Amino acid sequence: MKIKTILFLFLSLVTAASFAQIPALERVEPAFWWVGMKNPELQLIVHGQDIASRQVSLNYPGVKLAAVHKVENPNYLFLDLQIAPDAAPGTFPIQFTRKGEKTQTFRYALKSRDTSSSRIQGVTNKDLVYLIMPDRFANGDKKNDVVKGMNETTLNRDSMYYRHGGDIQGIINHLDYLKDLGVTALWLNPVLENDQPKTSYHGYANTENYKIDRRFGTNELYKKLVDECHSRGMKMIKDFIHNHFGSMHWTIRDMPSKDWVHQWPAYTRTSYRDQVLFDPYASASEKKLMTDGWFDIHMPDMNQENPYVKKYITQSTIWWVEYAGLDGFRLDTYAYNDAAFMAEWAKAVKLEFPRLTIFAETWVHGIANQVFFTQGNTVNRGFDTELPGVTDFQCLWGINEALTGKFGWDSGVTKLYTTLASDFVYQDPTRNVVFLDNHDLSRFYSVVGEDMDKYKSAIAWLLTTRGIPQLYYGDEIIMTGLSNPDGLVREDFKGGWDTDKVNKFISEGRTPKENDAFNFIRTLANYRKNNEVLQTGKLMQYVPENGVYVYFRYNADKTVMVIMNTSEKQETLPTERFAERMNGFSGAVNVVTGQQLRDIRSLSVAPKTTLVLELKK
């Protein structure tokens, strides 16, 4: 969509004549809700041709129509309902009447909440998260590959930009594979409908808020996926974008009001400069550009000061948690949102679901930059964001430098040590998600030059450090790719399509090197899953020397020693320096190989190698 087209679309919202021709009652969202919610208020967005000219009525015990709001566009009404604590589940008609015309009726449903103990457990440092781009993981239903009537109907696995056909059923089909690997939680890139004309596969420009993309499946199938995860002791994280919608979102194509999105005289892109948000010397104009500029031309920036926008976004997220039983949210492009709204949103979600986990993408450089967005007002922001955790990019930069940089006073693995030494600035750093790569970043095996020893070192660190570890699909089979462009790190998982010549989901389809990586990750991941010491155990680290970084995870029952040798030569490590943690232990077991070490007074560590040792008395 060209810039001038977008501007015309937005700025033509002046007279009723300019509004789209739609059915008399096109939709009501959310289409149903639940009794017994902590917040008794519910706002319905109603869309229909000249719906604002109709009178609204309803009659149901325990439900009150508190207010009817008209906005600039006569095709919208916003209805405020009050739902009493004793309201019973059931359905009732909401009627929209106009003299001399047929009454329009929507039968609204109030449902009972599902209080099953397996639902909405939250994701913690006891979990291992596995990130999946659904379009590129596995195709379990060919019938939904192309959906007639949608804006993008090209299916081409040879192109990084077109859809490939992966879907929710494909993920369901491989849940046992993931459980065997040691995964305990899934994070899917967005699966809401993205009816954009181009590059819709990634999902980050949704055009619906209450509907799964038909090329992935249905709402019911998504709920089944969550239920299937829970039945295996696994959890589900939903990726959600507050900052922007897709330009083909139904509320963008026919906007309730001009201030539904941030308007500019001409297309204006965000600066992507997070520094201006905390810079005490920043100008107001640069702050506005950062938060109100559009992330991309097809991603209108939502005006989160508009009370109807706030309600629409907030209720849709609460709806998905209650409907599907989600365990957590990953929040995209967090720094670009209105901070006050995001805190308000977090409070509303926590009120309904105290166990739900929330973490956000904070793609920034600098520990203070990252902590600025976390809850607790720990860096004198003067404002509590209510955000429990973040995707820990600072640890990513640290492990990158540890394995690709030259060791020095503040370089190489010292940077990783220093990053973790700065954890005091967080309210709780164990709520951060640590990772090596994702859908926007170069795959880590490529980052370290396809050096298997360095890669294993990174995986060993990921699965033994503090926080919530996250793998990206294909990490276990050393998938490669550099993120220029992004599509190169979003290739298909071979074996996910029945036409694939090889199947990487089974050992027979993997190369010896791929099986080596798979078995290494599987062994460590399952050890972590079965040993609380690597989940919730305390962390003690030592200043790196000669490129060797040593740290311990320990609790009352076990002590695990991790030795990361980042140098290019074998190192002999006398261990008396670590007596504070090693006193009382005389031996160890290599967690990965099972090798028993009967004398640990001095340890030999191969170059570019990380040892994970469970200490023994």
Q: Coil, strand, or helix at residue 434?
A: strand
CB 610 within 8 A of CB 460: yes
Cα 408 to its chain centre, rounded Å, is 35
Q: Quote the pLDDT of residue 247.
A: 98
Residue 8's pLDDT band (cuts 50, 70, 90): very low
Does the pLDDT of residue 3 top 50, yes or no? no
Catalytic residue chosen out of the listed positions 195, 332, 338, 571: 332
Q: Quote the pLDDT of residue 584.
A: 94
Beta bridge partners of 358: 329
- 609-616/587-590 β-pairing: antiparallel
Can you read off the two tokens belonging to residue 505? 């989901």
Angle in degrees, CA 537, 543, 548, rounded to 5:
95
Contacts of 158 (CB under 8 A, 6+ apart): none
Residue 485's pLDDT band (cuts 50, 70, 90): confident
Q: Which of 11, 8, 4 is nearest to 260 (CA)?
A: 11
DSSP string, 440-499: TS--HHHHTTT-HHHHHHHHHHHTTSSSEEEEETTGGGT----SSSGGGG----TTSSTT
Does the pLDDT of residue 492 top 90, yes or no? yes
Give pLDDT tens digits for 60-111. Answer: 999 999 999 999 999 999 999 999 999 999 999 999 999 999 999 999 999 9
Does the pLDDT of residue 10 top 90, yes or no? no
Does the pLDDT of residue 565 top 50, yes or no? yes
| C-alpha distances in Å from residue 98, one per residue of 52, 57, 77, 506 | 10, 12, 14, 63
Distance CA 519, CA 511 (A): 12
Contacts of 254 (CB under 8 A, 6+ apart): 19, 20, 22, 47, 73, 75
Distance CA 194, CA 58 (A): 33
Catalytic residue chosen out of the listed positions 135, 322, 327, 361: 361
Active site residue 361: yes
Q: Which of 71, 31, 29, 66 is nearest to 50 (CA)?
A: 71
Does the pLDDT of residue 5 top 50, yes or no? no
* H helix count then E strand count, the chain: 16, 24
Distance CA 392, CA 384 (A): 19
Does the pLDDT of residue 2 top 70, yes or no? no
Neighbouring C-alpha atoms within 13 Å toward the C-beta of 145: 15
Q: What are phi and psi of 518, to 5 degrees?
A: -60, -50
Distance CA 493, CA 498 (A): 12
H-type helices in 191-245, by residue range? 219-231
Give pLDDT tens digits for 117-136. Answer: 888 999 999 999 999 999 99
CB 471 within 8 A of CB 183: yes
Cα 221 to its chain centre, rounded Å, is 20
Contacts of 328 (CB under 8 A, 6+ apart): 122, 123, 185, 187, 235, 236, 237, 238, 356, 357, 358, 359
Residue 15's pLDDT band (cuts 50, 70, 90): very low
Does the pLDDT of residue 403 top 70, yes or no? yes
DSSP 8-state code for residue 594: -
Query: Strand order in 548-554's β-sheet?
Result: 538-541, 548-554, 559-565, 609-616, 587-590, 596-597
DSSP string, 378-406: TTS-SS-----EEB-HHHHHHHHHHHHSP
- 63-70/76-83 β-pairing: antiparallel
Does the pLDDT of residue 159 top 90, yes or no? yes
| C-alpha distances in Å from residue 99, one per residue of 46, 103, 104 | 19, 9, 12
| C-alpha distances in Å from residue 253, one per residue of 11, 75, 195, 574, 579 | 12, 12, 12, 68, 66
Q: Which of 18, 21, 16, 69 is nearest to 45 (CA)?
A: 69
Q: Coil, strand, or helix at residue 367?
A: helix
Residue 20's pLDDT band (cuts 50, 70, 90): low
Compute the average pLDDT of residues 456-466.
98
Residue 325's pLDDT band (cuts 50, 70, 90): very high
Distance CA 302, CA 470 (A): 29
Residue 14's pLDDT band (cuts 50, 70, 90): very low
Q: Most distant CA pair in the chain: distance in Å?
A: 93
**What percent of the chain shows pLDDT beyond 70?**
97
Does the pLDDT of residue 488 top 70, yes or no? yes
Mean pLDDT of the chain: 95
Strand stretches in 542-581, DSSP E: 548-554, 559-565, 571-574
Cα 323 to its chain centre, rounded Å, is 18
Give pLDDT tens digits for 265-306. Answer: 999 999 999 999 999 999 999 999 999 999 999 999 999 999
- Dihedral sign from CA coordinates of 475, 481, 483, 486: negative
Active site residue 332: yes
Q: Quote the pLDDT of residue 21.
A: 75
Does the pLDDT of residue 310 top 60, yes or no? yes
Does the pLDDT of residue 617 top 50, yes or no? yes
CB 185 within 8 A of CB 233: no
CB 290 within 8 A of CB 336: yes
Q: What are phi and psi of 395, to 5 degrees?
A: -70, -35
